[in-house]
Amino acid sequence: MKKDRRDFINTCFRFAAGAGIVGIAGVLAVKSQKGDFLWQLDPSKCTQCGRCATSCVVTPSAVKCIHVYDMCGYCDLCGGYFRPNVKNLSTGAENQLCPTGAIKRSYVEDPFFKYEIIDELCIGCGKCVKGCGAFGNGSLQLQVSHDLCVNCNQCAIASDCPSDAFSRVPIDQAYKFAGFKSNKKI
């Protein structure tokens, strides 16, 4: 059957409308999946530049230091806790590297000390992470805390990160820290 011009234009409009509806549905479906991916930083790429503390839209930053106890040497002279050139290894504020005093040091047994991160005080600057990596075995690591992160479409820290350490990760692999012997969760 031969179509006249009116039928042809009608068919084209219908086809365009259908394609539009399918396209919009597809985009909405993809957007609805956005919640299944989260921002996370890769400690193996992180250079502890300090920008996680200042670039995040959340204050204080959603990036926090976590402590992988399985890796920790429980050192007396902890490079992540003490400033360089400290006169004595005490918990005096003048000896602490952390600008907010967010690490608690407690005696275990000679010569071991335990270091705990106080999340409320941690601003994610990464000073302790750098000190631990330089003088210890890297048991302190930075991670995006997902109960604080608002999961921006474009993460402000990811844009500022000089080492390209941020990426979106599936929700079932929300953390990328290294060194756990088992699949413990924080």
Residues that bind other proteins (CB under 8 A): 48-51, 53-54, 73, 75-79, 82, 84-86, 89, 97, 99, 110-111, 123, 125-127, 130-131, 134-137, 162
Cβ closest to other proteins, residue 38 vs residue 122: 122
Q: Helices in the chain by DSSP H: which ranges?
A: 5-32, 51-55, 127-135, 156-160
> Cα 61 vs. chain centroid, distance in angstroms?
10
Neighbours of 44 (CB within 10 A): 12
Residue type for position 39: W
Q: How far apart are CA 116 and CA 134, in angstroms?
A: 19
- In whole angstroms, the minimum distance from the beta carbon of 74 to other proteins comes to 8
> Could you tell me if 177 and 71 are in contact, meaning their C-beta atoms sit under 8 angstroms apart?
no
Least distance in angstroms from the C-beta of 104 to other proteins: 19
Least separation in angstroms between residue 183's CB and other proteins is 24
Q: How far is the CB of 97 from other proteins (least distance, A)?
A: 7
Omega of the bond prior to 60 within 30 degrees of 0, cis? yes
Residue number with CB closer to other proteins (91 or 151): 91
Return the number of the residue (11 or 44) whose C-beta is nearest other proteins. Answer: 44
Give whichever of 76 and 119 is closer to other proteins, judged by the CB atom. Answer: 76
Q: What does the alpha-carbon distance between residue 38 and residue 155 come to, in Å, rounded to a whole number? A: 10
**Residue placing its CB nearer to other proteins in the complex, 37 or 105:** 105
Instruction: Please state the closest distance from residue 73 (CB atom) to other proteins, in A.
Output: 4
